[in-house]
Structure 1
Amino acid sequence: MKTAKREKILSLTCLSALALLVNLESASAGEGGISFWLPGTFGSLAAAPGTPGWAWATIYYHTDVAAAPGTQFPRGGRLDVGISGRADLALFGPTYVFATPVLGAQASVTVLGVAGRNEASAALSLTGPLGNTIALSRTQEFTGFGDIVPQVALKWNMGTSNLMVYGQGDVPVGAYDPNRIANLGIGHGVIDVGGGYTYFNPQTGNEFSWLAGLTYNFKNTASQYQNGMDFHLDWGTSHFFTKHSSLAWSATTSSR
């Protein structure tokens, strides 16, 4: 693999880790408190073109989150209250960047897989009036593979300004069981589209990026539940001290 590609993959890994520190994600009525959008997917240099050819990304992703007390999340035929979760995941897959322009832009195709361990807890699980068991302090953990995420993107460079549009989806082939509170698959298909902008001045070393998108969730046929449409906004800023070293800060927010 070329050195430039290795440096790009390392930068993506660092930016994803930084995004976890300032995750401002909020969810409303998401099944199990889980959304498709992964904070930090895009950060600094989001819309900047890449190097034509093949590249491979391997990203370690850690998260440890808890919902506000009393927040209710539907899951199949029950409500889970007081959800918290901890996950250690590996995201991996190839990207191909085309050398021939498409509509004057640089086109790329990415396919990502997910594997790892997820631990989830619910302070209280309730079902309907004539339903099943009421469980207190329920905790589960699961290790396996998640869904497959294909993505396409177009990026235009205009000096210090860069524009991009993207589309991605979720192929629900990962480990999922509506009766579990710990899953690695989300149990339903997704279409996510959006666009972004990057300002990067190599002379000053200053960079700023933002990306916004909308996520449409298909119905989960196992639980007969459908999440609402999500809006997400990622942004990042960085300063390059040298060609290969920089300090970056990124964040994400979403709403339904």
Structure 2
Amino acid sequence: MEQSLKHKLVIWPHAGRHAVAALYAGVALAVAVPSALADEGGVSFWLPGQFSALAAVQVQPGWSLPLFYYHTSADLGGSKQIPRGGRGRVAAGVDAEADLLFAGPTYTFGEPLLGGQAAVTALAAVGRMAVDVDATLTGPRGNTISTGVSDSLKGSSDLYAMATLKWEHKDVHNFMVYTMGNLPVGAYDPDRLVNLGLGHASMDVGGGYTYFDKVNEFSVVTGMTYNWENSDTDYQNGIDAHLDWSASRFISPQTHFGLVGYFYEQVTGDEGSGAVLGDFKSRVRGVGPQAGHFFAVGQELWYVSLKGYYEFDARNRAEGWNTWVSLIIPLGKYE
């Protein structure tokens, strides 16, 4: 058995493409993380960097369990303001950190759908987020001015669902469409400075492409987010556009290195009586390194990866850095 597995690992770049690529199902999950990033309360539905290596490649049918640890550290200069805490409250000098652990059971269907491969994912997280604010200013609903305010919260996120459909063409060209949304049931209070739930529903749709010749990989995924109004705060985030990309090379059958990046741009303004700063359109860019490694556990190949992003060119949102550690566990082949 050990000899057979070793052989499978060694020959992978030239055969067994789908067997190992199955582990990337979890790497390409779209997950919305409440962090100090954009829109109302510094929270956007789409977290830039959600898609990365081999995003559009078909995978081995069956169950898999992606686990993600995500850390972000971001700040907004004291001269800049952001809607935070609801009730028309505006915060300045925001410094935020978040640590979250996600689990996203994924099922990939064995039977083709419209000539492609379909998969569905359910996702949720537990974690902690903390925010320090230099000043909170009075909003139109009578909030008082305060300085040196801190808030932290431990809890669970909203529930998220995603569906993907992938096609392969001539071995190296791969295409994908996806849709995702959330059920706003996470820890949320409109009067808090920090929340792990969004407080509103959102939907994101998009598509992607991966070039993969079994050694070199390039992926790009783009999409747009529509946000429904937060009825607690009378605030509706604008429509967001985003693009994630990855470029990597396998230096051995088990290990790859490369770069990742993202572009995020809000294309329509925020609305509602709670949007006291006007349309508040935001943007940010990010780039950083990535590395991944396959390793054997029994007869299965697991996958671990590390990637990080340095953010720049931010407007109307905090910027900083974030790190992802992923572990993808195959749970069984499709029968």
TM-score, normalising length from structure 1? 0.88
Match of 1:248 in 2: 258
Contact 1:9 1:58 in 2 (8 A): no
SS in 2 for 1:32: helix
Percent identical pairs in the alignment equals 45
Which of the residues 139, 154, 162 maps onto 2:165? 154
Q: Deviations over 1:89-133 (max 9, x none)?
A: 001021000011111110000010011000012221112366121
Q: 1:128 to 1:11 in 2, by over 3 A?
A: closer
CA distance in 2, matches of 1:41, 1:137: 33
> What is the number of equivalent residue pairs in this alignment?
242
Which secondary structure does the structure 1 equivalent of 2:27 belong to?
A: helix
Give yes or no for contact 1:26–1:255 (8 Å, CA) kept in 2: no
8 Å CA contact 2:245, 2:260 repeated in 1: yes
Match of 1:136 among 140, 143, 147: 147
Distance 1:83 1:181, change over 3 A: same
- Number of the residue aligned with 1:50: 59
In structure 2, the partner of 1:209 is 219
- How far off is 1:11 after superposition? 7.9
C-alpha contact 2:40 2:237 (8 A) present in aligned 1: yes
How do 1:107-256 residues align onto structure 2 when only pairs under 5 Å count? 107-128=118-139, 131-158=142-169, 159-202=171-214, 205-256=215-266
Q: Which amino acid aligns with 2:259?
A: W
Q: Distance in 2 between matches of 1:62 and 1:32?
A: 18
Aligned partner of 2:97 in structure 1 is: 86
Of the three residues 91, 107, 125, the one matched with 1:96 is 107
Q: Which residue of 2 aligns with 1:21?
A: none
Could you tell me which of 35, 42, 63 is aligned with 2:72?
63
Q: Deviations over 1:7-36 (max 9, x none)?
A: 8269839x99xxxxxxxx974xx1111111
Structure 2 counterpart of 1:213, one-letter code: G
User: Paired residue for 1:22?
Assistant: none
How far the C-alpha of 1:73 sits from its partner, in A, is 1.6
CA contact (8 A) 2:26 2:66 kept: no
Mapped partners of 1:130, 1:107: distance in 2: 48
C-alpha distance in 2 between matches for 1:217 and 1:111: 20
What is the CA deviation profile of residues 58-87 of structure 1, one whole-angstrom value per residue up to 9, with x for unaligned ones? Answer: 110010011244222223221111222101
d(CA) in 2 for partners of 1:121 and 1:251?
27
Contact 1:26/1:254 (8 A) holds in 2: no
Cα separation, partners in 2 of 1:109 and 1:150, compared to 1, 3 Å: same
Equivalent pair of 2:21/2:59 in contact (CA under 8 Å): no
Structure 1 counterpart of 2:54, one-letter code = L
Aligned-partner residue type, residue 250 of structure 1: V
On the 8 A contact 1:214/1:231 being kept in 2, the answer is: yes
Across the aligned residues of Structure 1 and Structure 2, the Cα RMSD in angstroms comes to 2.5
Aligned residues of 1:176 and 1:184 also touching (Cα < 8 A): yes
Distance, in Å, in 2 between the alignment partners of 1:181 and 1:5 is 43
Q: Could you tell me the TM-score, scaled by structure 2's length?
A: 0.68
Q: Distance in 1 between matches of 2:105 and 2:132?
A: 33
The answer to whether the 8 A contact 2:118-2:164 is kept is yes
- Letter in structure 1 aligned against 2:139: G
Structure 1 CA distance for aligned equivalents of residues 208 and 58 of structure 2 = 12
C-alpha separation in 2, matches of 1:226 and 1:130: 17
The structural deviation recorded for 1:255 is: 1.2
- 1:35 aligned onto 2:77: no
SS at match of 2:105: strand
The separation in 2 between residues aligned to 1:229 and 1:141, in whole angstroms, is 28
Whole-angstrom CA distance in 2 between matches of 1:187 and 1:123? 24
The letter of the residue matching 2:47 is L
The letter for the 2-side match of 1:8 is L
Moved over 3 A (4+): 3-7
1:143 and 1:106 map into 2 onto residues whose CA distance is 37
1:242 is paired with a residue of what secondary structure? Answer: coil
